[in-house]
Amino acid sequence: MRLGRKNKKTESIKTVQTVLRETRNNSPIFSRFAVQTRTERQLYTTLRESVPIIDAALCKIIRLIGGFKIVTSSAESQKIADSFVKNVRTNGEMMGLESFVLCYLDSLLTYGQAVGEIVPDSGGEGICALYNASLDDVEIRADSSPLKLAVYTLGNGTAEKPKHPERIFATLLNPKPGTVCGTSILSGLPFVSSILLRIFESVKTNWERVGDIRFAVTLNPDSNGSAVSRENAQAVADEWKKAMRSDSVCDFVSVGDVSIKVIGAESDMPDCDIPVRHILEQIIAKLGIPPFLLGISWSSTERMSEQQADILTSELAYYRTVLEPVITKIVSAHLKMCGYNDSFKIEWDKINLQDAVELSQARLNNANAMNIERQIGAEVQNEG
């Protein structure tokens, strides 16, 4: 239905009683709330760049979240909603509300918080574009109440409140009590990831030493006990260099007692499979991704894989509930700016075909059970 001119009254929220009012310097407590630093965000970015399995797991979660559609209560608003979801500009040249939501989820998983902005049309008739803000350019604080979030822009080292704060929205992932700082899904991984990178660096160094063999050429004194002169040692070294050249094949011929050994041939390469697997188990357990989705074929039964898929489905459902308020705010704002106040709902795509088959099988089993119960009840009544 079309919007009316009536103003809806809003109830004021009382101040929370369990939050500390002032600090020692009589400044608001909100400035003391924990905030995420740029160094911490750079650490999470480096983790994704340095450990490919972390980046692959996050990309899998983002892609498996699936698409969605908006279903409104009227045909007119449905056309406007469909056109907006498909054609709205996001972050420059990208199109569609789904691309904005996926980028928003990427920031939310990596850093534990995400900030977006609505760019209205110049004529005020709907939303022109959506923008994923960089967390390095903004700062999330508590507003007049700890139940409200305010996003400040950072310019010249100072935080300023934007001119249109109603167009900016933010989401925190698993915020800690008493703070306005989200918790990244990568929290807890820097320590184990540093061990994994240390192992990979050691493997690289060992293969550089063992794979590219180094030789130790020793020229011993002759049987008469005469010392080896500098000229003889230099001649042997020059001939050895000629023999080891990669662009030609030649033999090494020497006179005297010359011994040649491979440096490091006595030591074995340390086995890193077990420690690497232990570390990867910790990383995968933190990210909540089944190993087979990342190409890791650990010993697991088919039943175990189904249970892991069910756990992943619940994780994806949780992330969808986190994103729904953002989608609702954006679509609601666009419909109101276009002159509609119709109700709508978000319908997500099925995560995969296996879930649909299992749900259908469960409904079939329930229907068969109800049919059997009716037959038994009818037989009991006939016997009575």
| Ranges 96-100, 116-120, 125-129, 221-225: which has the least confidence | 221-225
Q: Of 260, 183, 181, 186, nearest to 218 (Cα)?
A: 260
pLDDT digits (tens, 9 = 90+) for 257-278: 777 777 666 666 777 888 888 9
Average pLDDT over residues 132-136: 90
pLDDT digits (tens, 9 = 90+) for 312-347: 888 888 999 999 999 999 999 999 988 888 899 999
Which of the pair, 184 or 310, is modelled with greater confidence? Answer: 184
Average pLDDT over residues 176-197: 88
Q: How far apart are CA 384 and CA 376, in angstroms?
A: 12
- The average confidence (pLDDT) of the chain is 79
| Domain assignments of the chain as residue spans, ordered by start | 1-213+278-375, 215-262
- The string of DSSP codes covering 65-103 is T--EEEEESSHHHHHHHHHHHHH-EETTTEESHHHHHHH
pLDDT tops 90 at residue 123: no
Which of the pair, 356 or 349, is modelled with greater confidence? Answer: 349
pLDDT digits (tens, 9 = 90+) for 163-180: 888 889 999 998 888 778
Average pLDDT over residues 366-371: 87
Q: How far apart are CA 258 and CA 215, in angstroms?
A: 12
pLDDT tops 80 at residue 27: no
pLDDT tops 80 at residue 98: yes
